[in-house]
Chain A
Amino acid sequence: MGIEGIGARVLRKEDKRFITGAGRYTDDHKVAGMHYAAFVRSPHAYAKIKKINIKAASKMSGVAGIFNGKELTGDGIGNIICGWMVHSKDGSPMNMGAWSALATEYVRYVGDAVAVVIAETLEEAQAAAEAVEVDYKVLKAVVSAEDAMDPKAPQLHPEAKNNIIYDWEIGEEDATDAAFAKAANVVEIDIRNNRLVPNPMEPRSALVQYDAAEDHFTLHTTSQNPHVARLVLSAFYQVAPENKLRVIAPDVGGGFGAKIYIYPEEIVCLWAAKKAGVAAVKWTASRSDAFLTDAHGRDHVSKAKMAFDKNNKITGFKIETLANLGAYMSLFSSSVPTYLYATLLSGQYNIPNIHCNVKTVYTNTVPVDAYRGAGRPEATYLVERMMTTAARELGVDPAELRRKNFVQQFPHQTPVIMCYDAGDFGASLDAAMAEIKYDSFEKRRKKSAKNGMLRGIGMSCYIEACGIAPSAAVGSLGAGVGLWESAEVRVNPVGTVEILTGSHSHGQGHETTFAQLVTDRFGLPNENVQIVHGDTDKVQFGMGTYGSRSGAVGMSAIEKALDKVEAKAKKIAAHMLEAAEGDIEIKNGEVMVKGTDKKLGWHEVCLGAYTGHNLPEGMEPGLKEGAFYDPTNFTFPAGCYICEVEVDPNTGVTTIEKFVAADDFGKIINPMIVEGQVHGGLAQGIGQAMMENAVYDDDGQLLSASYMDYTMPRADDLPSFNVSTTETLCPGNPLGIKGCGEAGAIGSPPAVINAITDAIGHNNLTMPASPQNVWAAINDGGMSEAAE
Chain B
Amino acid sequence: MAKVEITVNGKATSANVEDRTLLVDYLRETRNLTGTHVGCDTSQCGACVVHVDGKAVKSCTMLAAQASGSDVKTIEGVAGNGALHPMQEAFHQNHGLQCGFCTPGMIMAGIDMVNRLGPKLDEATIRAELEGNICRCTGYHNIVKSIAAGAKEMGKGMKKAAQ
Contact = CB atoms under 8 A, between A and B. Distances in A.
Nearest to B21: A123
A203 B140 CA distance: 20
B99 interface: yes
A191 B163 CA distance: 63
A28 B92 CA distance: 22
22 contacts: A11-B95, A12-B92, A12-B97, A19-B92, A20-B35, A21-B75, A27-B34, A200-B136, A202-B99, A288-B41, A506-B99, A507-B137, A673-B95, A675-B95, A679-B138, A680-B98, A680-B137, A683-B138, A707-B45, A714-B131, A714-B133, A715-B133
B47 A21 contact: no
Nearest to A506: B99
Contacts of A716: 124, 127-128, 130-131
Contacts of A56: none
B89 to A, nearest CB: 8
Interface in B128-153: 128, 130-131, 133-144
A21 B74 contact: yes
Counting contact residues on chain A (CB < 8 A from B), the size range is 35 or more
B104 interface: yes
Contact of B39 (A18, A201, A508, A715): A201
Interface string B57-72: 0000000000000000
B78 to A, nearest CB: 8
Interface string B78-101: 110000100010011101011111
Nearest to B124: A716
B14 interface: no
Contact of A679 (B33, B40, B100, B142): B142
B121 interface: no
Contact of B134 (A11, A18, A28, A707): A707
Given A201-B102, A716-B127, A720-B123, A21 B36 contact: yes
Nearest to A18: B100
Contacts of B84: 19-20
A287 B45 contact: yes
Interface residues of B, number: 55
Contact of B144 (A25, A199, A720): A720
A202 B39 contact: yes
Contacts of B33: 21
A714 B134 contact: yes
A20 B93 contact: no
Contact of A22 (B35, B36, B134): B35
Nearest to A744: B139
Contacts of B104: 18-19, 21
Contacts of A252: 99
Q: Which residue of A30, A251, A253, A744 has the most chain B CB atoms within 10 A of its CB atom?
A: A253
Nearest to B89: A19
A410 interface: no
Interface in A230-286: 251-254, 256, 286
A16 interface: yes
Given A201-B45, A680-B138, A683-B139, A15 B37 contact: no
Contacts of B123: 720
A708 interface: yes
Interface in A718-772: 718, 720-721, 744
A490 B41 CA distance: 44
Given A201-B99, A682-B139, A718-B139, A706 B41 contact: yes
A33 interface: no
B53 interface: no
B126 A715 contact: yes
B103 A19 contact: yes
Q: Which residue of B102, B104, B139, B141 has the most chain A CB atoms within 10 A of its CB atom?
A: B139
A-B CB proximity, top 8 nearest: A21-B35, A18-B100, A253-B101, A683-B139, A507-B99, A21-B75, A707-B44, A507-B98
A260 to B, nearest CB: 15
B45 A679 contact: no
Nearest to A24: B34
Q: Which residue of B38, B95, B128 has the most chain A CB atoms within 10 A of its CB atom?
A: B95
Contacts of B136: 199-201, 254, 256, 680, 683-684, 712
B97 A714 contact: no
Contacts of A12: 92, 95, 97
Interface of B: 18, 28, 32-42, 44-45, 47, 74-76, 78-79, 84, 88, 91-93, 95, 97-104, 107, 123-124, 126-128, 130-131, 133-144
Contacts of B107: 19
Contacts of B127: 715-716, 718
A11 B37 CA distance: 24
B131 A715 contact: yes
Contact of A201 (B78, B101, B124): B101
Given A200-B136, A507-B99, A123 B18 contact: yes
A352 interface: no
A287 B140 contact: no
Contacts of B76: 20-22
A621 interface: no
A507 B128 CA distance: 25
A251 B131 contact: no
Contact of B103 (A18, A508, A680, A681): A18
A23 interface: yes
A254 B98 contact: yes
B34 A28 contact: yes
Nearest to B102: A201
B149 to A, nearest CB: 13
B40 A202 contact: no
Nearest to A256: B136
Given A684-B136, A714-B131, 13 more contacts: A11-B95, A17-B100, A19-B84, A19-B103, A24-B34, A28-B34, A199-B136, A254-B99, A507-B99, A684-B139, A715-B131, A718-B141, A720-B141
Given A19-B97, A716-B131, A706 B74 contact: no
Contacts of A508: 98
Contact of B40 (A681, A707, A715, A744): A707
A131 B131 CA distance: 38
Given A201-B39, A707-B40, A715 B144 contact: yes
Interface string A647-687: 00000000000000000000000001101100111111000
Contacts of A200: 99, 101, 136
Q: Which residue of A21, A123, A199 has the most chain B CB atoms within 10 A of its CB atom?
A: A21
Contact of B42 (A287, A672, A675, A720): A287
Contact of A253 (B79, B99, B138): B99
A715 B143 contact: yes
Nearest to B39: A201
A489 B54 CA distance: 47
Given A200-B136, A254-B136, A507-B99, A16 B92 contact: yes
A676 B138 contact: yes
Contact of B97 (A15, A672, A682): A15
A18 B32 CA distance: 16
Nearest to A200: B136
B40 A20 contact: no
Given A19-B84, A716-B130, A251 B141 contact: no
B121 to A, nearest CB: 12
B41 A680 contact: no
A721 B139 contact: yes
A202 B134 contact: no
Interface string A284-298: 001110000000000
A478 interface: no
A470 interface: no
Contacts of A712: 44, 134, 136
B92 A11 contact: yes
A725 to B, nearest CB: 16
A18 B36 CA distance: 11
A475 interface: no
A714 B144 CA distance: 11
B138 A706 contact: no
A525 interface: no
